[in-house]
A = this chain, B = another copy of it.
Amino acid sequence: MSSSPLRADSTSCSYKKSKLIIVSMSESPQVLVQRPPTFDFMDELLSRNFPILTTHHTSSAPLLNSLSRQASSSIRVVVNMAMLKLDADLLSHLPSLQLLVCTSVGTEHIDLAECKRRGIAVTNAGEAFSEDVADCAVGLLISVLRKIPAADRYVRSGKWVKFGEFQLGIKLSGKRVGILGLGSIGSLIAKRLEPFGCIISYNSTSQKQSIPYQYYPDALGKKGVIINVGRGGLIDEKEMKEPGVPEELFGLDNVVLSPHAAMATPGSLKNIAQLTLANLKAFFSNQPLISPVRLD
């Protein structure tokens, strides 16, 4: 292992439990996986197919310390995980980069303009997380309306025995639900809410054809309950900067708080690992990428 071109940053990183860094010295790795130390769930799958290097760096100086010049110049693909920042400066130290496989749906942490300028192709998570995120959105919606976490706290704290009946919840069936963004996730949420008798409307960059739901070109109304299964930044990022949560919310029973976990199931991890591998295989065999991001 000491001959590997990857040197883990000793300040925060431990690879003890990881099974990766299977580096064949006869062939310089062409795939760099940029991931937090604990995000090792796809290392085994990927390294069974390609030699990989890993790094958790998001700026060039430590990256250069961890990779030899030879290693960094051989990298043709970066697999970017957990939305670690990847800017033009860092990209400049990967002169052979042709493909950036991003394991998130959002790409705002990537300098896409620089990728476009350099002709680096980009892929994202596509629909790998859509089912889990849609499931979670429905779960959060019912949880907040029917106060499921607050009710659970009520029972666990012994208040049910002490004070009797819990407060009433709010009925979901038949409610008006507005969905901001009717893409893969939004459509699955709509489909799931139909048998609840919910009246579904949506807002999107443009009105979609052959969609049975009412389209609203501007806002969907100011009252009611908000479920955010998009990224934290879609709300007011200053107010809701992950993982910092305003403490005022902690006392509220009509608020359900969740970590960034709407896609956090083994099923989604398996999906994204397989999609990543499929994109890599497509790239190395000159086939069309599976989940390309349009760079315009």
A interface residues (Cβ-Cβ under 8 A, vs B): 38, 131-132, 134-136, 138-140, 142-143, 145-146, 148-149, 151-156, 160-161, 164-174, 188, 191-192, 194-197, 243-245, 250, 256-261, 264-269
Contacts and interface: CB of A to CB of B under 8 A. Distances in A.
Contacts of A167: 264
Given A148-B140, A155-B245, A168 B258 contact: no
A265 B146 contact: yes
A31 to B, nearest CB: 24
A188 B161 CA distance: 31
Contacts of A166: 259, 261, 264
A161 B257 CA distance: 13
B265 A165 contact: no
B138 A171 contact: no
Nearest to A156: B250
A295 B164 CA distance: 32
Contact of A256 (B148, B188, B244): B148
**Residue in A154, A166, A170, A171 with the greatest tally of chain B CB atoms within 10 Å:** A171
A41 to B, nearest CB: 10
Given A195-B192, A259-B154, A243 B164 contact: yes
Nearest to A190: B195
A160 B268 contact: no
A129 to B, nearest CB: 11
A260 B268 CA distance: 34
Given A164-B243, A170-B266, 15 more contacts: A38-B165, A132-B171, A132-B173, A135-B142, A135-B172, A135-B196, A136-B148, A139-B142, A143-B148, A148-B256, A154-B259, A160-B245, A165-B259, A165-B261, A192-B196
